[in-house]
Structure 1
Amino acid sequence: MLHPFYSGSRIHKISGPKPKGLLGNIKELSDHEPTTVYQRWVEDHGHILGVNTLLFFYMLYLADPRAVAHVLAHHVDYPMHKDVRKEAERVLGEGKARFLSPAFGPYQIRELQSIFYDKCSELCELWIQRIKSENTTRNPADTASVWVEATSWLNKMTLDVVGLAGFNSSFDSLNPDGMPNELSEALRAMLAVNGNPSVLDYLHAFLPITRIIPSQSRRKVDHARKVMDRIGRELIADAKSATRATASGDISRKNFAAKDLLSLLVRANMASDVPDSSRLSDEEVLAQIPTFLFAGHETTSSALACFLFSIACNPEVQDRLRAEAFACAEGDRPTAEALNKLPYLDSVVRETLRLYAPVSAMLRTVTKDDIIPTESRWIDNEGVEHSGIPVVAGDSIIIPILAMNRSKAIWGDDAYEFKPERWTDLPATASSIPGVWGSSMTFSGGLRACIGYRFAIAQMKATAYTLIRTFRFALAVDPAQIEISVNAMTRPVIRGKAKEGPNLPLWVGLVESESAL
């Protein structure tokens, strides 16, 4: 990731924020929300920036849609950097998208729809119990509403969904009488330490030699990974036993089917009619589990929390969304196709994921000299005009997802506002964004785009539909007390208390009937 001048790199000639001492701009990223910093840099210096990361080393920040499209389309020439990949594998394991792909096709997602509704209904019942309880904190201005800290409940619900959809296992996280879920606690620990990086953590990322000095977060992550690996091995053993029982001695693909991710992977490992070259070892199967847990649980939970925050702050959006949901002819549990035909629900989900993309940025490295095309000509620090960006092997590129999703040059002066109506009349500039879903970078783009985007969208729509038909929402604190943290994950926190984790206090009341609208 570090790339000195003698390599021939010219990134240091590109306009960007002024370095601040020997640590370049690392201290600024450590002291402030990275995405807030990225957005300010893009507004001040444009969509093409050279940023000093440490000493004399620079990285290219790309928010230019044409340039980003080129990088994503040539994923072999612009892969994830090996040091970043190693760090990701240390946390999540060596997950491979090609192994996970069978579980994320349109047919498989439709088959999971009932799980989304079942678990959201279970969450609704628990909140209804709170509303009916005499020992619940009530809103002084509306005694029919009770206090709920939403993020913890959403985390439990999405973990239970992933348990069934991914592993055909009931994690029972929503059970109020159940034991704390060890797997969920391990995930929480990983996100907590990676969501509050220290200067030493940044040095680990940008200067690999410093990793001989272990940080506190690194030790906690290593412990959490051991917990996840142990539980993962238990899940694999259970899946093998179930596979043998289902196949009645003849373990071949034609003799049994599976909807959940783990069973699909175990089948590929055990089936007699699968060639050895396509067979997975237990270690390869194990490596997929943290990836799916993180992608299918944490990102969806964070997006749903941002959805509730958005509609709680915008009651007119909430009312319009509820009216559309009650007008749906398919009642409590519409099919995925019916949900996709609800235009305002689609606009609200798109706007939530645009403004609050769960992952805020991605990093790529350059493996061969190239000229990255740009939408328009630009001038470097020496006054030289360019029609593209010259890069050399070893250069590093950051694509600031949220900064692109919120770019005023792309979306207009109201880019930072939550405005679902924009999706019925998108600005022409938004069509140039090379995302795999909609005109946003939320799920990335190209062949390396997020393979689980259909899963996330389907679960988000089913959950939003069910919640809005059941409850009305309002913030239980002054809106100024809530901020959207974008470190490890984009999620609401109490201002000044981000290190305490996600927090969204809401007043939640029942929607008594359709006639109440």
Structure 2
Amino acid sequence: MLLDAVWLSLGLLILSGTWTLYKNYTNPLWRLQGPPRGNFFLGNLSEIWKVKTLTGWVHQYGRVNTHAGLFRKPCLVISDVKAVAHVVSHANDFPKDESMRYDLSKLVGPGVLVVEGEEHKRQRRVINPAFGNAYVKELVPTFFDKALQLRELLVEKCASNPRGYNTNAIEWMSKVTLDIIGLAGFGYNFHGLDDNVGKTELQIAFDAAAKSSVVLRMIQAKLPFFRLFPMGNSSMLREAQKSMDRIGARLLAEAKSMITLGEKMSGGGRDMLSLLVRANTSSDLPAHQKLSDKDVITQVPTFFVAGHETTASSLVWMLYALTRAPEVQKKLRQELQAISTDTPSFDELNALPYLDAVLRETLRLHAPVVFTERVSAKDDILPLSEPIKDRNGKMLDGIRVQAGDLILISLLGMNTDTAIWGADALEFKPERWMTPKAGVTAPIPGVWSNLMSFWGGARACIGFRFSIVEAKALAFTLFRAFEFELAVKHEELIAETSIVQRPFLERDMTAGPQLPIIIRTVA
């Protein structure tokens, strides 16, 4: 009996695998232009982590192309404005792929970044007040407190290095954004900028999760069968998740306590977690829409990732861009030094046109998240801005997708499309934002500045306002006080992506992400 069951299971597995391979190889998406399919098992997956690859495919094969995933399953790549707008405006029909949600959930739990449909709407409805403009304005002093602390630390380092302080910019950007999200997000002091303080428990937990093997995580995410077996990263991820849940529970209890005390005194805690708890306990919110304590706790690692990694990446790439464009750096510094205070208000910060242009251009050319993956929940047709030619020479004015088809949206491809931005689309030119051509970026369905860097529609980045103002406050402080020079040739750096894109020294990939720069104080 047992032997019969084993043979039956094996037979079903073979049949299922054969059927899957047949569907992969006969999928109509292979009619589209695209790169060679790569090896049988990984397809082109090993290539897409290199940031230049996807934009290269767009330029070589067009705004709609197909590459191979695991077992050569076709993956549609789109950067056509009309097709992307269709996906953005039909979020329920194009949710995150299950494998992507599984992998994300191992890092941040089932928070607002992961869930779909009605559950996403429910969580987002309660979280929204913590990311509104009114609250972000109140956070500006916190941003500047940490920005000025970083400035003083770098002044000391520069004083000890008269020829310039040679350092890895990623370390400093990561520390300062970590401190900011800790305090602003959930009233938790990471002490990232304090050299004499070791890593906190939450940092250690998240580091353990983030550093787990990308390859093993990908295999388990893409092939559910392998989730049944413990892999090298399994125990690490479980322990990290337990730590984050335990810390989240403690922070939630503290937030509730502060709110209770604050109602008797002066309004309670003002961090995002406290605002979330206050909104969730409001008598105006129907009981069926309230989040459970478990739901609230899952937002802690979500705040951590969304409010830390993306802003740090944006600032690192701004440094990279301005070290390659010293005349732009000088012009920005002149604007910032004309301000009489070290701590401008929210409105004063947003009234600096060149700082705004530099940030927009950075997020256009160096978007922290370079692509996002969706899956078609039903058969559909993606409309196109203009017809394309398939491998057989046939003209197509729409792309037919089937339920289960993977769709990868190249955000960077849209942000650097020459048809939208002009022949200089790959050049760093903040001036393009000072006198934008009328309507040139109007079709792009992004939530901010007609860029796709923060996505768009119902699934747009909930913390984009927080990230923008935080980046401006840090850039204001740093470029006002220092000049920055790249410590290596820019050709030695390459960009790769995991959660966000980061620069690496190509000759020293094992050292991890780094941006070697030289910092000098200015009068």
TM over 0.5: yes
Farther off after superposition, 113-122 or 376-385: 376-385
User: Who is 2:146 aligned against?
Assistant: 119
1:375-395 CA-partner distances (Å, limit 9, x unpaired): 011222333322111112222
Deviation at 1:257, TM superposition (A): 5.5
> Match for 1:62: what amino acid?
I
Distance (Å, rounded) in 2 between the aligned partners of 1:210 and 1:359 = 27
Question: Which of 311, 329, 333 pairs up with 1:300?
Answer: 311
User: Who is 2:43 aligned against?
Assistant: 25
User: Who is 2:418 aligned against?
Assistant: 408
1:221-253 CA-partner distances (Å, limit 9, x unpaired): 33322222222222112212222222249xxxx
Contact 1:187/1:294 (CA < 8 Å) preserved in 2? no
Deviation at 1:353, TM superposition (A): 0.9
> Match for 1:510: what amino acid?
T
User: Who is 1:169 aligned against?
Assistant: 188
Determine whether 1:131 maps to 2:184. Answer: no
Farther off after superposition, 260-269 or 304-313: 260-269
Distance (Å, rounded) in 2 between the aligned partners of 1:432 and 1:131 = 46
Contact 2:64/2:80 (CA < 8 Å) preserved in 1? yes
1:62-113 CA-partner distances (Å, limit 9, x unpaired): 1111100110011111111233222212211111233321111111111101
Determine whether 1:239 maps to 2:255. Answer: yes
User: Who is 1:179 aligned against?
Assistant: 198
Distance (Å, rounded) in 1 between the aligned partners of 2:171 and 2:406 = 36
Determine whether 1:337 maps to 2:347. Answer: yes
**CA spacing shift, 1:507–1:209, aligned 2, 3 Å:** same
User: Who is 2:77 aligned against?
Assistant: 61
Farther off after superposition, 308-317 or 69-78: 308-317
> Match for 1:104: what amino acid?
F
1:380-412 CA-partner distances (Å, limit 9, x unpaired): 233332211111222221101122223334333
**CA spacing shift, 1:66–1:214, aligned 2, 3 Å:** farther
3-state secondary structure, aligned to 1:443: coil
Larger RCO (CA within 8 A; separation ≥ 6): 1
Contact 1:63/1:399 (CA < 8 Å) preserved in 2? yes
1:425-459 CA-partner distances (Å, limit 9, x unpaired): 44665332221111321001111111111000000
Distance (Å, rounded) in 2 between the aligned partners of 1:272 and 1:431 = 41
> Match for 2:253: what amino acid?
A
Question: Which of 494, 497, 500 pairs up with 1:489?
Answer: 500
Contact 2:129/2:276 (CA < 8 Å) preserved in 1? no
> Which residues of 2 match residues 40-55 of structure 1 at below 5 A?
40-55=56-71
Deviation at 1:159, TM superposition (A): 1.2
> Which residues of 2 match residues 248-327 of structure 1 at below 5 A?
248=264, 256=267, 258-270=269-281, 274-327=285-338
> Which residues of 2 match residues 198-237 of structure 1 at below 5 A?
198=215, 200-237=216-253
**CA spacing shift, 1:150–1:24, aligned 2, 3 Å:** closer
Contact 2:111/2:302 (CA < 8 Å) preserved in 1? yes
> Match for 1:152: what amino acid?
E
Determine whether 1:442 maps to 2:442. Answer: no
Deviation at 1:298, TM superposition (A): 1.1
Contact 2:258/2:269 (CA < 8 Å) preserved in 1? no
Distance (Å, rounded) in 1 between the aligned partners of 2:191 and 2:227 = 38
User: Who is 2:104 aligned against?
Assistant: 88
Gaps of 5+ in 1: 250-254, 513-517
> Match for 2:261: what amino acid?
A
User: Who is 1:354 aligned against?
Assistant: 364
Q: Among all aligned residue pairs of Structure 1 and Structure 2, give the percentage whose two residues are the same amino acid.
A: 39
Distance (Å, rounded) in 1 between the aligned partners of 2:450 and 2:469 = 18
User: Who is 2:128 aligned against?
Assistant: 101
Deviation at 1:273, TM superposition (A): 6.3
RMSD: 2.5
Contact 1:192/1:499 (CA < 8 Å) preserved in 2? no
**CA spacing shift, 1:231–1:497, aligned 2, 3 Å:** farther
User: Who is 1:252 aligned against?
Assistant: none
3-state secondary structure, aligned to 2:193: coil
Distance (Å, rounded) in 2 between the aligned partners of 1:265 and 1:152 = 30
Distance (Å, rounded) in 2 between the aligned partners of 1:481 and 1:322 = 27
Determine whether 1:149 maps to 2:168. Answer: yes
Question: Which of 388, 391, 396 pairs up with 1:386?
Answer: 396
Determine whether 1:15 maps to 2:33. Answer: yes
User: Who is 2:406 aligned against?
Assistant: 396
Distance (Å, rounded) in 2 between the aligned partners of 1:431 and 1:215 = 47
Contact 1:3/1:394 (CA < 8 Å) preserved in 2? no
Distance (Å, rounded) in 1 between the aligned partners of 2:96 and 2:105 = 12
3-state secondary structure, aligned to 2:52: helix
Distance (Å, rounded) in 1 between the aligned partners of 2:436 and 2:29 = 33
Distance (Å, rounded) in 1 between the aligned partners of 2:235 and 2:192 = 26
Deviation at 1:264, TM superposition (A): 1.8
**CA spacing shift, 1:150–1:20, aligned 2, 3 Å:** closer
3-state secondary structure, aligned to 1:434: coil
Deviation at 1:472, TM superposition (A): 1.2
> Match for 1:153: what amino acid?
W
> Match for 1:392: what amino acid?
Q
Distance (Å, rounded) in 2 between the aligned partners of 1:374 and 1:311 = 36
Gaps of 5+ in 2: 1-18, 113-123
Deviation at 1:336, TM superposition (A): 1.9
Distance (Å, rounded) in 2 between the aligned partners of 1:503 and 1:320 = 26
Question: Which of 513, 516, 523 pairs up with 1:505?
Answer: 516
> Match for 1:112: what amino acid?
L
Contact 1:3/1:395 (CA < 8 Å) preserved in 2? no
3-state secondary structure, aligned to 1:216: coil
**CA spacing shift, 1:371–1:273, aligned 2, 3 Å:** closer
Distance (Å, rounded) in 2 between the aligned partners of 1:56 and 1:274 = 47
3-state secondary structure, aligned to 2:178: helix
User: Who is 2:7 aligned against?
Assistant: none
Distance (Å, rounded) in 2 between the aligned partners of 1:426 and 1:192 = 41
Query: Structure 2-normalised TM-score?
Result: 0.87
**CA spacing shift, 1:126–1:421, aligned 2, 3 Å:** same
**CA spacing shift, 1:185–1:407, aligned 2, 3 Å:** farther
Deviation at 1:214, TM superposition (A): 4.4
> Match for 2:489: what amino acid?
D
Determine whether 1:39 maps to 2:55. Answer: yes
Distance (Å, rounded) in 2 between the aligned partners of 1:222 and 1:38 = 33
Question: Which of 351, 372, 375 pairs up with 1:365?
Answer: 375
> Match for 2:135: what amino acid?
Q
User: Who is 2:12 aligned against?
Assistant: none
Contact 1:35/1:403 (CA < 8 Å) preserved in 2? no
**CA spacing shift, 1:88–1:33, aligned 2, 3 Å:** closer
Deviation at 1:5, TM superposition (A): 5.8
Farther off after superposition, 471-480 or 38-47: 471-480
Distance (Å, rounded) in 2 between the aligned partners of 1:500 and 1:191 = 16
Deviation at 1:260, TM superposition (A): 1.5
> Match for 1:337: what amino acid?
D
3-state secondary structure, aligned to 1:415: coil
Contact 2:371/2:411 (CA < 8 Å) preserved in 1? yes
User: Who is 1:515 aligned against?
Assistant: none
